[in-house]
Amino acid sequence: MKFSVADGARLIDAQTGTELDHKAINSKIVQWQTLLSGYGGKRVVLTADSSINWVLIDLACLSANILLTPLPTYLSESQKAAVLQALQPDLWLSDYEINDADSSLLEEFDGILLYQCAVKQNVTVPAGTQKITFTSGSTGSPKGVCLSDRSQLDVALALKARVEHICNGSPRHLCLLPLPTLLENIAGVYAPLLAGGEVIVASDAQRGFVGSRLAQPQAMLSLISNVQPKSLIVVPELLKMLVAAALKGWPVPSSLEFVAVGGAYVSPQVLQQASAIGLPVYQGYGLSECGSVVALSDVVPSEAGDSVGLPLACRDVQIIDGELVVNTPFLGYLGEPDSAADCVFTGDLAQWTPQGGLCILGRRKNLLINSFGRNISPEWVESALTDSGAVQQVIVLGEAQPYCSALLYAAAAVTDTELAAAIKQVNAALPDYARIVTYYRLPTPFSTDQGTLTDNGRLRRNVIMQQYSNIISKLYSNQSDVTGDKYELLSISA
């Protein structure tokens, strides 16, 4: 399906100021299509930093229906090798030299190196697949989500329509997330270009990223201030960083009209705080299997409450046994021929608001059911604790137990007394069955190196429970001493 860049659309390099108007974009797309087709490219892998060329290659493949697999730069070598083995690409495009015995350099074009790859075995890809986007996977093994061109463009067009009545005039979007992130790819690039807007692209270093982590927040803040965009897409941690910076004096650009936040649960408290300091934040919800976005709020947080908004026009959703189900065909996962489905069971617990919006309650598989039969979403309590400012990381426990406990990490500057006070304050706003009764203060944070976090920073709950099983057992060793609603807040040592 040909991607039609609207009149007025522009691609802009944040560092050099290089601009391509819609005619130049279309011309470059044709050049890349000719080059890739000339080398017989049918399955293309792209490993490159965010850049104008990244966007052009992506659009060329989309328009020519060439299967493209863009890989995040932060994948480990073993993860990358697993992807290449599963995909068997015939072309590999990169902005750095590849030292691979099965790949030979063909040429360099516009700073991108093109390598021919030796295809060692036949790989069956679901019919209609145009893009494979890789998630980190809950166990660290990347999972390839197969998407059609239609599913991507349906979402982009629906987002264009949803956002147009919020923003004034043409979009001016600054890409903060890495371009291989499907959310940024579709909502941050496709939608603005379809609307005739500007898309500003910056490298990892300009955005302050090292791998998957924001290492230099000041670099990102300076970039936003210099670019003065109308729109941004952020994950919850980036939103918290922007809020903290604004509270410390960073001037929120008056140009901002739309800041979309998604990727994980965001507490209403953070959304309200962001809105109060001038960040026009709108919460969304989605998953890669559904083209990244399923619902997006178009009202300010004070009116939206816990809602992630109405489903997009291209998405028909329903709630079955408490679980959100999206009625859209899913092509399946790479290497899993039986994973295709007529609809997507998201694994997320949800409910409708009186206004018809969606409210996401947490992951079904993470749901805790305590020994009194109470259902507790740990993400809800965890978010309340991290919002306190004293807790940086936390996992809430309590499956088949009479009360909730927690493993948490706080910065060294936070004293034990301050930490206990913060937890008590959070508990005061929670119902009794969701309050933290015992907790253990971790000496070091969860991390990817430790195996307790995924590459995108999510808790690996099963791994954590295995690694800290002895400590967790101590958190529940005094159950007979604390019964009913007379629990006291207890801190335990290893």
Same domain, 310 and 169: yes
Over residues 267-298, the pLDDT tens digits come to 777 888 898 999 999 999 999 999 999 999 98
Distance CA 150, CA 297 (A): 23
Q: What mean pLDDT is predicted for residues 232-260?
A: 93
Question: Residue 416 has what pLDDT?
Answer: 94
Q: What mean pLDDT is predicted for residues 79-103?
A: 90
Angle in degrees, 0-180, between the axes of helices 52-64 and 22-38, rounded to the nearest 10: 70
Q: 3-class SS at 188? A: helix
| CATH number of the domain within which 313 lies | 3.40.50.12780
For residue 275 the two structure tokens come to 């809105």
Same domain, 90 and 195: yes
Over residues 297-308, the pLDDT tens digits come to 988 665 656 789
Distance CA 418, CA 297 (A): 36
Same domain, 190 and 271: yes
Of residues 138 and 181, the one with the higher pLDDT is: 181
Q: Give the residue from 326, 361, 396 where a domain finishes.
A: 361
For residue 222 the two structure tokens come to 């300076």
Over residues 169-183, the pLDDT tens digits come to 889 999 999 999 999
Same domain, 287 and 432: no
Which amino acid is residue 24, in one-letter code? A
Tell which residue, 199, 263, 262, 271, has the closest CA to residue 242. Answer: 271
pLDDT band at 139 (very low <50, low <70, confident <90, very high): very low
Distance CA 390, CA 385 (A): 8
Within 10 angstroms of residue 85's Cβ, the number of other Cβ atoms is: 12
Cα 132 vs. chain centroid, distance in angstroms?
16
405 is in which domain, residue-wise? 367-491
Distance CA 405, CA 490 (A): 9
Give the DSSP H or E segment for 194: helix 191-194
Same domain, 323 and 445: no
Same domain, 262 and 399: no
Q: What mean pLDDT is predicted for residues 81-105?
A: 91
Q: How far is CA 391 from CA 255, 298, 484, in A?
A: 32, 31, 27
Within 10 angstroms of residue 86's Cβ, the number of other Cβ atoms is: 18
Determine contact, residues 134/69, Cβ cutoff 8 Å: yes
Same domain, 285 and 309: yes
Q: What mean pLDDT is predicted for residues 50-70?
A: 97
The fraction of the chain above a pLDDT of 70, given in percent, is 94
Within 10 angstroms of residue 470's Cβ, the number of other Cβ atoms is: 8
Residue 33 backbone phi and psi in degrees, to 5:
-60, -45
Same domain, 166 and 34: yes
Question: Residue 480 has what pLDDT?
Answer: 41
Q: What mean pLDDT is predicted for residues 139-155?
A: 85
Same domain, 242 and 356: yes
For residue 7 the two structure tokens come to 């009149």
Same domain, 451 and 331: no
Domain count, the chain: 2
Same domain, 192 and 288: yes
Distance CA 189, CA 166 (A): 18
Question: Residue 305 has what pLDDT?
Answer: 62
pLDDT band at 431 (very low <50, low <70, confident <90, very high): confident
| CATH number of the domain within which 428 lies | 3.30.300.30
Q: Give the residue from 312, 338, 361 where a domain finishes.
A: 361
pLDDT band at 144 (very low <50, low <70, confident <90, very high): very high
When the pLDDT of each residue in the chain is averaged and rounded to a whole number, the result is 89
Same domain, 383 and 330: no
